[in-house]
Chains A and B, each alone.
Chain A
Amino acid sequence: MKIHDVVIIGGGIIGTSIAREMSRYRIKIALMEKEEELAFGVSKSNSGIIHPGTQNDPSSLKGKLCVRGNAMVREISKELGIDLKEVGELIIAFSEEEKTRLLALKKDADILGVPGTSIVDNVWLKKNEPNLNEAAVAALYAPTAGIISPYRYVYDLAENAACNGVEINVDTEVLDIVRNSKKRDKYRFEIVTSKGTFRANYIINAAGLFADEIASMVGIEDIKISPRKGEEFILDKKKEHLTEHLLFPLPSKKSKGILVTRTSDGNPMIGPTAVDIDDKYDISTSDEGFEEVIRSAQRLMPSINEGDIISYFAGLRPACGDDFIIRYEDDLPGFINVAGIQSPGLTAAPAVAEMVLNILKTKGFRPMRKLFFHKHRKRTIHLFDVTFKETKRLIEKDSEYGDIVCRCEMVSAKEIRDAIKRGASTMDGIKFRTRAQAGRCHGSFCTCRLLEILKEETKKSATDITKRGPGSEIVKGVKGE
């Protein structure tokens, strides 16, 4: 009978960060993800910002973990070959009253230890952010704000964790958790999943929007996740140089407001809204959200044009009160909840992982470090971020780099095949890993080729290929049948 030391529930940024952190030790770890691929939950649809830690209550857990996570991700991104761009952020004040609030924000940031913040005036702004609304009077500048591709971050963490022995199970939904009452068996929990039963001594609940349902399986009823929807709108890459920095208005109680940012792939992005909803599956966008985002973004940057929008999506923040809940359940030894990881969860993730491990260590968990931990991962190759000289070298090495599949984002057949070998099994999985279908034509050009390659690599038939898992098959049948 196989017993895992640790079972992690949830394959988002939190679960995979914990998995990778724990894979430094000589323990058996399994991660369970109900979706067809990792990062198909909240971690795929967010702003992708590595926040510096401003806009947080200095006494909050999320504020502290954000600042710590921001420092840690620099090292991690180097080790794993993830593109992290440090671009800096500006929180913009449009009046003297708002400027006073900037000073208060700066004070909070100083208490939290956010490095290098300063107040800049409108002369500075005109010079350094020429497209900004001229009515801006001042801004709080935080140089440590960065941008990252959230899903590639998850995939790279998971790949490295797997290389260090973590068992990653996708398409594996946790259905129930049973406490082991048989004294002679040396495990605490039975985890019933759609792929059979697992046994473990420690369970880490990192199930995002569904963390309350997992907690409830073991009788913990004080966690209630309330989804808060955020709609985001992506602009054409042609507008890449719209802004130098990430632009924020002053925050409200509910959110950081509607931002003008950029994805790590170079598309400007505006949003998100913040609306409390009930349905954890409702990721639709709305006309109202669109209006609100455009209007608010144009206040920061009047030249933003709705005609430049090439894509949009919504994500749900898994909120549970105002702060993160990271808690060892003393009444249920071995169970730890990591819930309510709303923004800035993407940033805080490595610090969350560190904290989880430290909590476990105070609770008698004493794993031994591995002699060899593979901390490095070979950087994934993307033609869109190498020079033509490098492209030439790659094509000479493997001719398939010269076979372009996605015209808008310049993705070759070789990159697609690599993505599939690294775990992509759906059209969305390919998109997140390679950017094929993520450009202005939305896959009109490359869908047929992608189906073809997926068929070849996975030995599936065309009718079984899905956008993001069962029920989302791309085509409904074969002609003439």
Chain B
Amino acid sequence: MNERDLVIVGGGPAGMAAAISAYENGIRDILVLERDQFLGGILNQCIHTGFGLEYFDEVLTGPEYADRFEKKIRGISGIEIRLRSFVVDLTENKVITYLMPGKIETVKARALIMATGCREKTREMVHIAGTRPAGIFSAGLAQKLINIEGLLPGKEIVIVGSGDIGLIMARRFILEGAKVKAVIEVQNESRGLLRNMIQCIEDFEVPIYFRHKVSKIIGRDRVEKVEIAELDGGPGGKIISKKVIECDTVLMSVGLIPENELIEMAGVRLDKNTNSPISDETNKTSIPGLFVCGNAFKVYDIVDTVSKDSVEAGRMAAKHLGIKDEG
């Protein structure tokens, strides 16, 4: 079987930072597997600014931030990048199976870094009752539809949850001429960054309902309205009042979950609530030589910290392979 010193799964900011750092720490045989046709991960659809303030001391858009890493990684000949390579299986011995158009391959990794990012929680995970019509999207999917596909998912929007993606999408929809009728947040305050609350919600006078939940989605073929309920004191509280808001679209922005089904398959123990690997040190897992970094390890607020922590993952992999620190 084909064996490589280091395999990295995921070519987002985490995977790229880990690969560059691994090379800089002396690993010369590196394979990066990315299922998409581009490097950059979720940053490709984040065309707003707000990236790189900490890492580069500059204000960049998502694609610009990703591009800095991509330029660097493309210039290193010891790093082989395979795009459209979808990892579908992983064993405890770090044997990886991946599919490409026209090919299925297996490779054994002496060290492995998983940088597979995260996925968004769905309406089903927060149990919203009602119907299941068209017009319910995760905020990230809506972002992709608008920014990448050039499509407008809806015209009258209610956003469930006040995560950063939801807040950014509120502004995005307004700029596209849609109406954001409400943001519904069950907690006492926003989960998102303060700057997003100001720039995306307050500046556009979007109504935000704290201590409220969406209790029902209504509509046969397409979303027609939502029923919201005010909760006494926030989550878990008694319902004080109910109200109906008409809309054609519901955006879910209720949190992210690390995408770790592959390492779970390999036997890494995951925290039942967060889906992060159970670990006492960032990037480490219960399997020696198998590291996890970026949003797959835990959900980060900003990409700058992802890059910083992922550099560590590259170093850990070198150490695992017994490579002496050169500098």
Contacts and interface: CB of A to CB of B under 8 A. Distances in A.
A251 B222 CA distance: 36
Given A309-B127, A404-B88, A477-B152, A444 B103 contact: no
A479 B172 CA distance: 11
B240 interface: no
A303 to B, nearest CB: 12
Contact of B221 (A290, A412, A468, A475): A468
Given A395-B103, A402-B103, A307 B131 contact: no
Contacts of B120: 441, 444
A27 interface: no
A447 B141 contact: yes
B228 to A, nearest CB: 14
A467 B134 contact: yes
Interface residues of B, number: 53
A450 to B, nearest CB: 11
Contacts of A451: 149, 151
A299 B157 CA distance: 40
A388 B97 contact: yes
Contacts of A119: none
Contacts of B222: 471-473
Interface in B71-86: 84, 86
A462 interface: yes
Nearest to A306: B127
A133 interface: no
Nearest to B133: A472
A281 interface: yes
Contacts of A205: none
B84 A403 contact: yes
B269 to A, nearest CB: 13
A403 B100 CA distance: 6
A242 to B, nearest CB: 15
B130 A284 contact: yes
Given A400-B101, A445-B119, A410 B88 contact: yes
Interface residues on A, range: 35 or more
B305 interface: no
Given A402-B104, A427-B134, A466-B134, 10 more contacts: A284-B216, A286-B129, A310-B122, A395-B104, A400-B101, A402-B103, A410-B88, A442-B124, A475-B154, A477-B155
B323 interface: no
B102 interface: yes
A443 B153 CA distance: 14
A313 B124 CA distance: 10
Interface string B86-106: 101100000001011111100
A474 B149 CA distance: 13
B220 interface: yes
Contacts of A463: 151
A287 interface: yes
B99 A475 contact: no
Interface string A95-134: 0000000000000000000000000000000000000000
